[in-house]
Structure 1
Amino acid sequence: MSNSSICIQEKDFDLSAEIAALRKNDPRVGAVVSFLGTVRDMNDGSQVKGMTLEHYPGMTEKALQEILDQAKARWGIYQTLVIHRVGPLLPEDQIVLVAVTSAHRGEAFAACEFIMDYLKTAAPFWKKEETPEGARWVDARVTDEVALSKWKEK
């Protein structure tokens, strides 16, 4: 049984099916924590009509695996899953799923938050938003960097 899965894909995913598959046949699991990120219709005061996510194949998966390995080294977690979509997306589309299983909720919550914080700042994804003012590349937010800093102190 693999204890981490990383999928970078253009197609959408079924949240319920992915969570069910993650915990299937593992009676040790007492907690499943997940984060689902979706495309918003507003960002930095501008309407977002859509976005395109790009990545560097091979490098992205390696960076994500390093993040998952760090989470496993810090907490007693079992399975991890990251699904990240690339390509063109519209408001309300699913972008990312991070899910973690463990015996207890505390470890699963902490690991899921850690993975998402690192994913937002350290994973090689590039996001371009389409707005009424034109296309613009989006950088990591200051709040994302602040969220990441709390893990570096521990």
Structure 2
Amino acid sequence: MVEPSTRTSARVVRAEITCAPVSVAGLAAAVEDQAAGAVVTFDGMVRDHDGGRSVSGVAYCAHPSAGGIVARIADEVAGRPGLRALAVVHRVGDLRVGDTALGVAVSADHRAPAFEAVREVVEEVKRLLPVWKHQLFADGAREWSNIA
């Protein structure tokens, strides 16, 4: 039996804010590691409704510090035991229903730490990242959300 790695930090493959489409499959491929027994992903997509209203699109705006904050979140989570590699990307700009807004992928020695790391990254991004959502509703109305 091969023992889990004693490394203290996983590789952070990507941690960024981007205007380009996010491929969760691409993030999963980027974190692959032959020593990993699990790769877990999260695909946070723009949904077609919010609060009982039909949504036709979303525009995300980020504070200039957002890139550094997402990198810090990735670095902190990458220090958890048993992880091999981590990638997290948040998209900004105009997105359509079905587009990926937040993609996360983690490889780990075992499934439990991979699931825990993905959840922690998502929760910390939602809690700390200065990104705001401007929703466009099907009736033409617009509304900001995630405003502190």
TM-score for both structures, normalised by structure 2: 0.83
Partner of 2:70: 64
**Secondary structure, aligned partner of 2:94:** strand
Higher helix proportion: 1
Q: Tell me which stretches of 4 or more aligned residues in structure 1 moved more than 6 Å.
A: none
Moved more, 26-35 or 2-11: 2-11
Count of matched residue pairs = 137
Paired-residue identity, %: 30
Contact map agreement 1:8 1:84 (CA 8 A) in 2: yes
Contact map agreement 2:24 2:41 (CA 8 A) in 1: no
- 5+ residue gaps, structure 2, are 1-9
User: Does residue 8 of the first structure (1) align with residue 14 of the second (2)?
Assistant: no
- Picking from 111, 134, 146, the partner of 1:139 is 146
TM-score for both structures, normalised by structure 1: 0.80
- 5+ residue gaps, structure 1, are 141-154
Code of the residue aligned with 1:42 in structure 2: it is H
Partner of 2:4: none
Structure 1 vs Structure 2 CA RMSD: 1.9
The 5-angstrom pairing of residues 74-153 of structure 1 reads 74-131=80-137, 132=139, 134-139=141-146
Code of the residue aligned with 2:126 in structure 1: it is K
Contact map agreement 1:8 1:85 (CA 8 A) in 2: yes
Q: Deviations 1:85-124 (Å, cap 9, x if unpaired)?
A: 1100111111111111110010000010010011112111
**Secondary structure, aligned partner of 2:31:** helix
Q: Deviations 1:42-84 (Å, cap 9, x if unpaired)?
A: 0011111111001123x11211122122212344212110111
Contact map agreement 1:30 1:103 (CA 8 A) in 2: yes
Distance 2:117 2:11 in 1: 17
Contact map agreement 1:7 1:82 (CA 8 A) in 2: yes
Higher strand proportion: 2
Contact map agreement 1:4 1:68 (CA 8 A) in 2: no
